[in-house]
Chain A
Amino acid sequence: MKPAFSVIFLTTLIGAAQGLLLAMYTAQFYALFNLLPVQDSQGFYGLGALLVLVLSGLGLIASFFHLGRPERAWRTAAQWRTSWLSREVIVLPAFMGTVFLYGVAHFMDWRPVLFTLPFGLSIDLTLVLGASAAVLALLLFICTGMIYACLPFLREWHSPLTVLNYTLLGSASGFLLAAAFAARNAPALTRFYAIAALVLTLLGLASRIASLYRNSRLRPKSTLQTAIGIKHPRIVQTSVGFLGGSFNTREFFHGRTAEVVRLVKWFFLLGAFALPLLMLMLAIGLQDPTPLWLSSVFVIQYLGLLAERWFFFAQANHPQNLYYQAIN
């Protein structure tokens, strides 16, 4: 497949946004049980929610560049019964809306106690809003992953590992951003976030390597024989039917050599995993990792994730390419 930059930016930006929200809510939830220190409503949660909104807003803007007719985008909510894309289009604004309310409630310090649990914990509005936003963030990971995982013909994508990768890589990116953000605005949480980002990056590395291993062993289900229905071991295409290009040659071929694709793979393994892991270990070793250091780790990992997404698309080999052998 030809990697579309709109989708690459959409998935990486909203992944980081979802991860950051999950990170913030984790801290608030832990603080409820006195596992982590309570944070400032405005300076941490309010600003953090704003950051989540900015990132997911940028992702949303990027996604519009993928549409031929963006003015009709409102129609996409129609087929949520069958289409994962439609479900994503519903969940993303719902997530952003809930995060907005979560941020406003924190920023205005508007935290009426809604109910009290039997063992004496009082649940306020921000906790309920945060829980809803966290659930929506997880749902959004599933929707985004399933858009690709639900297509059986694209066998490199048709696996639960696709959803797992989207979830883990987005979370790792978000927790890393939370660490950088906390180093400025909530130093007490920096170590917790840095360790969580390290663990999530390690888990992401494991699941990404699992999917790389799976994809390297895939045997194509469709062959030229089944594509044209002629059972002969030697079939050679002599003409694709036209001399110029077409949608078939534009959309389904990345047009790069195998060396470039391999190079991108090593780039993302290094940029999204190896280097951030090393830099995070250094940061955890230090007593006070600077915001600049952690921000650099986030940016490096983000660049690595862009490459990872590019590779994700480029690696998928669409069965329609069988009909365009002469292009390869």
Chain B
Amino acid sequence: MTQLALVIDLNVCVGCHACVTSCKQWNTSGSAGPLADLNPYDADPNGTFFNRVQTFEVGQYPNTQTVHFPKSCLHCEDPPCVPVCPTGASYKREQDGIVLVDSDKCIGCKYCSWACPYGVREFDEQRKIMTKCTLCVDRIYDTSRPESERKPACVLSCPTSARLFGDIHDPDSVVSEAIRENAGYQLMPEWGTHPSNHYLPRRKTDLHIHEDELVRIDNPLKVDGLLPKPAKTEPSLDDSTSW
């Protein structure tokens, strides 16, 4: 079974909000209707966004790190928002695991938003229905687009490629590999919701240089064989040798 998801690399995210604005742009102009804001040009504006970037400061000065933390619907494998919906408007797709809201069935009772511990559902005050991240379901299957563009808007817009998109149930996918290799984790694992979206933690960036990267194996002219003189084993300048 397929479970599409995002993997967000906190090591790479610079908090530029490009994913937030591209998400808003794509979803407000899509076939599902606009993402209406309340008093957008007045005092006390209220915005509807499916994706947000928040910023946290971790640690005590001077040893602090600023962590930019993007969050949208995590498309849980066991979504608590789905069974509580009285009309069945909230559902999880069998074929790809995307959690969606049927805007024709939603009565706007907001019960699903109470049942989501992550607070990722957004009530649309204009249409009076619940909305949420769709993983750009109207884009990722659009065969009129080239293959490379069939990804969520946030993924395509990320300038640092901090967002990866793929099937986490396929062990060979780019997202599964990223989770496996970089200790990908889930948010609030204590509730057993099994979020599909994973986060890659901050890590130390080390430079590993292996021997075979310095000396080419396929090296007909033996150029790499010309080692600096004096050789490493010989005494150095400090030991008063002469070049």
Which chain A residues have a beta carbon within 8 Å of chain B's beta carbons?
A: 1, 66-70, 72-73, 75-79, 82-86, 89, 147, 150-154, 221-222, 224, 226-230, 232, 234-242, 244-248, 250-252, 318-321, 323-324
Contacts and interface: CB of A to CB of B under 8 A. Distances in A.
Interface residues of B, number: 60
Interface in B100-134: 105-111, 113-119, 121-123, 127-129
Interface stretch (B84-92, B140-148, B160-168, B218-226): B84-92
A79 B86 contact: yes
B1 interface: no
A240 B114 CA distance: 19
Interface of B: 17, 20, 38, 44-49, 52-60, 66-67, 69, 71, 80, 83-89, 105-111, 113-119, 121-123, 127-129, 185-191, 199, 201-202
Nearest to A4: B110
A242 B49 contact: yes
B56 A151 contact: no
Contacts of A240: 52, 54
10 contacts: A66-B109, A72-B106, A73-B107, A150-B84, A152-B80, A229-B185, A240-B54, A242-B52, A245-B44, A246-B122
Given A69-B129, A244-B44, A232 B58 contact: yes
B108 A241 contact: no
Contacts, number: 176
A228 B109 contact: no
Contacts of A227: 187-188
Given A85-B109, A245-B44, 5 more contacts: A76-B86, A83-B86, A228-B67, A229-B185, A242-B47
Contacts of A321: 119
Given A229-B201, A236-B57, A222 B87 contact: no
Contacts of B86: 75-79, 83, 85-86, 89
Nearest to A243: B45
A251 B129 contact: no
A68 B107 CA distance: 6
A227 B67 CA distance: 13
A252 B121 CA distance: 12
Given A72-B87, A79-B86, A323-B71, A250 B119 contact: no
Contacts of A229: 185-187, 199, 201
Given A221-B190, A320-B117, A244 B45 contact: yes
